[in-house]
Chain A
Amino acid sequence: MNKPYSNRAWLGLLPVVLIVGFSAVVPLMTVVNYSVQDILDMQTRSFVGFDWYRSILRDPELHGALWRQLQFSATVLAIELPLGILIAKGLTPANRATPALLILLATPLLVPWNVVGTVWQVYARPDIGLLGYAVNQLGITYNYTASGTAAWITLILMDVWHWTSLVALLAFAGLTAIPRPAYQAAALDGLGAWQTFRFVELPRLRGVLIIAVLLRLMDSLMIYTEPFVLTGGGPGNSTTLLSQYLATLAVGQFDLGPAAAFSVIYFLFILLLSWLFYSAVVSRDE
């Protein structure tokens, strides 16, 4: 069969090129543009090459934020993934309460992010917050506005509350898709509960867990609204994560050059981590 060739067909791509151009390429290039120049106003500008990159990469504040960011992402993943699977294992599809539980589980996912921050801001307050007050009544000094550790724990708790459901729902969907004979064969092979999980369930949950890890990894690296509302990055810098620091640079101090350079690095960093994880997982399949 001869395919008809016509270069006018390229015109058909025009809408897509325009939309992608305005929505993605132009904003991104603006950032790149700012990151290599020192712009004071529309007339006054100078090309500075990689100066902003150099200075931002040497910024100890950024190093601190990056380190906290990695700890934060690793911690929430390490908690949310097993906890989510555990919750999913506890749900039995045949139970009549399960649909109600699923709706309950999905609720945190529907709450707007700044509302999540506000909820925890109030909930964890030592004077009027239910959680904060109760913990202090137990004799444990807990004040997330004064103690960096307390703020860090509150931040982790908030993220776990907000996002474990996502892992649980994904894992539940994965578990319900496992055919009964797989469990029956395991029972006949004499597999115990842990071995059944390891050899029957975990391999079949692989697909959904990869998605869960990717979503949580990318999302936790980008987290901004909730900690901003909860602690504003404090006390001190104890809960300042990458996006929080970026906002301080760009909006607070109006250092557009370094902020732009940081944005580019930040973007590439998330891309790199996600790619590393994904290719590590996929390469094991070959």
Chain B
Amino acid sequence: MAAITIEALTFSYPGAAEPTLDALSLEIAAGEAHALLGGSGAGKTTLLNLLSGLLQPTGGTLRLGGRSLAGVAPGARRTAQVFQFPVLYDRLSLLDNLTMPLRARGVRRRPRNERGRAIATQLEFEALGMADLERMRPGVLSLYQKQLLAIGRALATPRLELLLLDEPLTAVQPSAKWRLRQTLKAVQAELGMTMVYVTHDQTEALTFADRVSVMRDGVILQSAPPRDLYERPAHTYVGHFIGSPGLNLIDAELVGETLVREDWRCPLPAALAQRCTPGPVQLGFRPEWAQVITGAAAERAADAALLPAAVAGATVQGRDASGDYGLLALSVPEPVRVQTALSRPLPQRALLHLTQLVLFQDDIQVGLFSGGES
């Protein structure tokens, strides 16, 4: 069990004008499953490689369980890493693959094979057709089995405190992803090591991790439990990146304590208004945070608190207990998407009652508020 402390970590690739990681700080608790989420080029893998020691930081400090990792070789960090595509010793048996971290550290054959077999049992190799550990070689395995073998080998690292996974499921077909994720969670619950998991797939991050860090351009925009990322994004990019579709964003002007748009105005709570500077702001709302009011109700309720919208189209999104639900594409005039029941006929115009709003100024979240009672 070891916590990770990252302080002002900076890394630049030789010859690069901009640092890949820029004064990044992060705390990961012991035994936590932490996901690094972001688009390509965000610096996720770089951060992982710095943790494992494959790269050396240009500045800042890294600590694992209180020990500084400066100058500690990758093999001596009590850290293991699983790569995007399984890396195995092709000419060795499954058992020799599993036990390589022990063999490299001079553990004798008998104890290391015992450990290898225990891991194989734990990861249920037998049920997956990988029973003949001593004679099978990785060449005959499927991609999923290979990745599982790579994970097994990582787990064999003596005194493992930190397991790093670099998009381990990218190469695996979707049906197997879920299974591998379950296995990983079970193993983590049992061994209690800290896990850092890199992915660009939000579903993967949100279902796997206790906390998720959303990264962009070498900076962590927000580290929070999945639910917080969804409900209280700290940055417009987080709101946009998390959720499918992402957070709707519309522009407004803060005048005094009132949000003003051309055809809409909404009073802000005084405490919140004080935290903002008057001027342009952005309002974010999730597709399910808006109620669509149409027809006669819309005519009646030409109320300032309701956002007028033109209907641009609708798509079937899925089905739940109440039947099909769809996403209504609206123009306010910014394009927004709102969740709605599909059974209703599509009107030309609608009003949106926003039940919940996130207020951003210069892309940074300044507060949350509910858009009033309907």
Contact = CB atoms under 8 A, between A and B. Distances in A.
Contact of B104 (A181, A191, A204, A206): A191
Interface string A109-152: 00000000000000000000000000000000000000000000
B73 A189 contact: no
B101 A190 contact: yes
A192 interface: yes
Given A188-B53, A199-B89, 13 more contacts: A184-B81, A185-B83, A188-B54, A188-B74, A188-B157, A189-B104, A190-B105, A191-B75, A191-B100, A191-B104, A195-B104, A199-B92, A203-B90
B100 A189 contact: yes
B87 A185 contact: yes
A247 interface: no
A182 interface: yes
Interface string A64-100: 0000000000000000000000000000000000000
Contacts of B153: 189
A4 B74 CA distance: 65
Interface in B45-78: 49, 52-54, 73-76
Contacts, number: 57
- For the complex of A and B, 5 pairs with smallest distance between CB atoms: A190-B75, A190-B104, A185-B87, A203-B91, A187-B74
Interface string A41-67: 000000000000000000000000000
Interface residues of A, number: 17
Scoring A182, A188, A192, A204 by chain B CB atoms within 10 A of each residue's CB, the highest score goes to A188
Interface of A: 179, 181-182, 184-185, 187-192, 195, 199-200, 203-204, 206
Nearest to B73: A187
Nearest to B99: A189
B79 A188 contact: yes
B100 A199 contact: yes
A200 B73 contact: no
B73 A181 contact: no
- Chain A interface SS verdict (over half): helix
B244 to A, nearest CB: 31
Nearest to B105: A190
Contacts of A206: 91
A185 B83 CA distance: 8
B342 to A, nearest CB: 47
Contact of A200 (B52, B54, B89, B105): B89
B101 A189 contact: yes
A181 B105 contact: no
Given A187-B54, A187-B74, A188-B74, A181 B89 contact: no
Given A190-B104, A191-B104, A192-B104, A184 B54 contact: yes
Contacts of A184: 49, 54, 74, 81, 83, 87
Contacts of A204: 90
A171 B139 CA distance: 23
Contacts of A185: 81, 83, 87, 150
A181 B92 contact: no
A188 B81 CA distance: 7
Contacts of A192: 104
B152 to A, nearest CB: 12
A188 B101 CA distance: 8
6 contacts: A181-B85, A184-B87, A188-B74, A188-B79, A188-B157, A191-B100
Interface in B88-134: 89-92, 100-101, 104-105
B80 interface: yes
A158 to B, nearest CB: 35
A18 to B, nearest CB: 44
Contacts of B101: 188-190
A190 B87 contact: no
A29 B327 CA distance: 84
Nearest to A200: B89
A84 B225 CA distance: 55
